[in-house]
Amino acid sequence: MSDFELDKGGANHQKPEGKDDVMTTAQGAPVADDQNWLKGGPRGPSLLEDHIAREKIFHFDHERIPERVVHARGYGVHGTFELTNPIPELTCASILASEKGKKTPVFARFSTVAGSKGSPDLARDVRGFAVKFYTDEGNWDIVGNNIPVFFIQDAIKFPDLIHAAKPAPDRDFPQAQTAHDNFWDFVSLSPESMNMIMWIMSDRTIPRSLRFMEGFGVHTFRLVNEKGEAKFVKFHWKPKQGVQSVVWNEALKINGMDPDFHRRDMWAAIDSGDFPQWDLGVQVFDEDYAEKFEFDVLDATKIIPEEDVPVQIVGTMTLDANVENFFAETEQVAFCTQNIVRGIDFTEDPLLQGRNFSYLDTQTKRLGGPNFTHIPINAPKCPVRHFQQDGHMAMQNPKGRANYEPNSWGGDTGVERGPRGCPVNGFTSYAAPMGATKIRERSETFADHYSQARQFYISQTDIEQTHMADALVFELSKVGRNDIRQRMVGHLLHIDKGLAQDVADGIGLKELPAKPPAARKPITDLPESKALSILKNTPGHFRGRKIGIYIGEGGDAGVVSALKAAAKDEGATVEIIAPHVSGAKLSDGKVMEADEKIDGGPSVVYDAVAIVMGEDAAKKLARNKPSTDFVNDAFAHSKFIGYHPAVKPLLEGAGIANRMDDGVMDLSGKDAAKNFLSACGALRYWKREQG
């Protein structure tokens, strides 16, 4: 036993290699044994005296902090924002107004809203899209979502919305889903939610990957230039990877198969050097446009159509580093909508104004005190100078004698007089005119709740519309009270009669209910907006996607290597699945190792699949459930399927042999693998769903 020695408790301990490996207490004192509590004799009572054991247990007992009250489940990554098209004429914020190529470090956290910290990634839910820019003029946070509108118009309703969406207080279920009475009760009584309801019933709420989502700042903000002139702005994140979602049945299965699907995907992409990128775009408009626009730009339940005000790209964010420690970085990062910098300002949007209170408040509770800005992930990367001091865990109290303002220290006393406000370079609020009567009322200009909901619906392809109707039917079928179901269908009648009818049929309503009282404004027939559909904007490439090749004994080695080469050319990744994790012997007599055993590598976790095995193996697996599910699910979820003709028995076993369509492709011919990968660029063979 040269490297190991047996301790008295029977555990093997490796001897530390150098001084740095020696374990210490939190006080830095080296520890001889942290596996046995000090006792009165080997079988005697444990002694309270053991400061090492008590310190270890004490710290463990205090490891948890409250999870976020919303967006508890999230995944954070580091990156850089590069300014590609500076806009100094619009803003004096150095991050957007400096020279082209300026780089600013960022930390982004993506999240679901309703589920708790341990909930599955593919819940139907809005995704948080929060970015902290460590600018040289202070931290700027865009705390956005992957959907450009919100459920409510006024922050005072937020606790009600979230109480209704989260598990019911008496029974504490259902977890991470809106398919229950409380949620639909609340929204059916809040017509302002209808535009958001259309968005959340679309496939936007079941993204394929966090890398394949758009992001939105949601509110209208202001950009203010050096001269103090302001324009309105909405922020957009456009993924260079394109937007892609899964289908609902797939989401349900992924949640069971791999609840960490999204975080694993992000981690793996960055770990392998496939860094996701988003362009940051701005929609800029002035007071005149705001006056003429048929909705109120301060109403967060409305978009400004991209066809009206195009998105102007200003820079690119590249996420290129996983965190070193999840708790230290992802859990402790504290986003605040109030974190803005000079050159960017708020508007009077009542949702935004309320958020500006809530985030600071929640971080103080979550992170234990006002000094959360001292935690490295939250600390600005530019100089910080102020007279704030003390409080729990203060790490950076101001130096010197002066800790108040004004002071007369400095000069020949040799003591620093400390920082002072600077009207030239400091933050100045845009001088927006005010002057009004104190009143607790919603603006009349916020009153049209249906026109944009309808615009969203009619802008979708037939397939997307069907998915929305199916989602509504699923959710409302989980609602126990018929009056709530009926009330929802009533709202749908204002949005689209066909949709209302489909949902009414789907939930078995004998007749359509009456429409709820009409909105105060007449519903406007808005034109379709192509930007609102995912499928009308399919990226047309398979880059960044994953193909699963199911191999078996005797599989054609040439086909497998052609597929691997074609996938590499496309920028896609390959995973090998086999009946056994040890792999399978292919036609060239060599054993190819597997990444997954078939039970752990179902087709739902891949964007496209291929099956390559010898006829005997395919015959054997034709009645193997994980193998037939692999084929069946890929077919049912409209995925492209490549196959070697020898696997026909398995396709027959799965019941698709006589339903083959152009999305099921023979891989045996010349250039077949290449053609297959290029067909996969359409991402799904949607015709199958329609057929």
Min dist. Cβ of residue 494 to ligand HDD (A)? 23
DSSP conformation letters of 141-173: EEEEESSSS-S-SSGGGHHHHHHHHSPPTTT--
Instruction: Using CA atoms of 566, 568, 572, 574 in order, give the dihedral in degrees to the nearest 10.
Output: 90
Q: Which residues of 524-537 are buried (b: 16+ CB within 10 A; e: fewer)?
A: eebebbebbbbbee
Residue type, 145: N
Judged by beta carbon, residue 108 or residue 651, the one nearer ligand HDD is: 108
- Gap between the Cα atoms of 508 and 491, Å rounded: 17
H or E element at residue 612:
strand 608-612
Judged by beta carbon, residue 25 or residue 358, the one nearer ligand HDD is: 358
Judged by beta carbon, residue 119 or residue 573, the one nearer ligand HDD is: 119
Chain centre to alpha carbon of residue 441: 34
CB 576 within 8 A of CB 562: no
Cβ neighbors of 63 (< 8 A, separation 6 or more) are none
Q: Which residues of 6-15 are buried (b: 16+ CB within 10 A; e: fewer)?
A: eeeeeeeeee
Residue 129 annotated as lining a ligand binding site: no
Judged by beta carbon, residue 74 or residue 548, the one nearer ligand HDD is: 74
Burial class (CB in 10 A: 0-12, 13-18, 19+), 45: exposed
CB 611 within 8 A of CB 641: yes
Min dist. Cβ of residue 148 to ligand HDD (A)? 9
Chain centre to alpha carbon of residue 324: 20
User: Which residue's Cβ lies closest to ligand HDD?
Assistant: 128
Judged by beta carbon, residue 218 or residue 230, the one nearer ligand HDD is: 218
Secondary structure E strands in 277-311:
277-285
Q: DSSP secondary-structure letter at 311? A: P
Q: State how far the alpha carbon of 99 is from the alpha carbons of 82, 84, 107, 365, in Å.
A: 10, 9, 22, 39
Residue 359 annotated as lining a ligand binding site: yes
Tokens 């070193």 found at: 324
Q: Is 132 helix (H, G, I), strand (E, B) or coil?
A: strand
Tell how strand 591-592 and strand 584-585 pair up.
Answer: antiparallel
Min dist. Cβ of residue 180 to ligand HDD (A)? 21
Cis peptide before 602 (omega within 30 of 0): no
Min dist. Cβ of residue 165 to ligand HDD (A)? 12
**CB-CB neighbours of 133 under 10 Å:** 25
Min dist. Cβ of residue 219 to ligand HDD (A)? 6
Cβ neighbors of 516 (< 8 A, separation 6 or more) are 191, 487, 490, 491, 494
Residue 264 annotated as lining a ligand binding site: no
Min dist. Cβ of residue 150 to ligand HDD (A)? 4
Q: State how far the alpha carbon of 251 is from the alpha carbons of 118, 121, 208, 313, 469, in Å.
A: 17, 9, 9, 32, 17
- Gap between the Cα atoms of 129 and 71, Å rounded: 10
Residue 68 annotated as lining a ligand binding site: yes
- Gap between the Cα atoms of 472 and 489, Å rounded: 9
Backbone angles phi, psi at 549, to 5 degrees: -105, 115
- Gap between the Cα atoms of 104 and 541, Å rounded: 29
Judged by beta carbon, residue 71 or residue 102, the one nearer ligand HDD is: 71
Residue 109 annotated as lining a ligand binding site: yes
Min dist. Cβ of residue 251 to ligand HDD (A)? 20
Note the residues at the interface with ligand HDD (CB under 6 A): 68-71, 74, 109, 111, 128, 130, 143-145, 150, 155, 158, 218, 300, 333, 335, 351, 354-355, 358-359, 362-363
Judged by beta carbon, residue 130 or residue 622, the one nearer ligand HDD is: 130
Residue 385 annotated as lining a ligand binding site: no
Residues in the chain: 691
Min dist. Cβ of residue 304 to ligand HDD (A)? 15
The residues that are catalytic are 71, 145
Min dist. Cβ of residue 175 to ligand HDD (A)? 17
- Residue set of the binding site for heme: 68, 109, 158, 355, 359, 366
- Residue set of the binding site: 68, 109, 158, 355, 359, 366
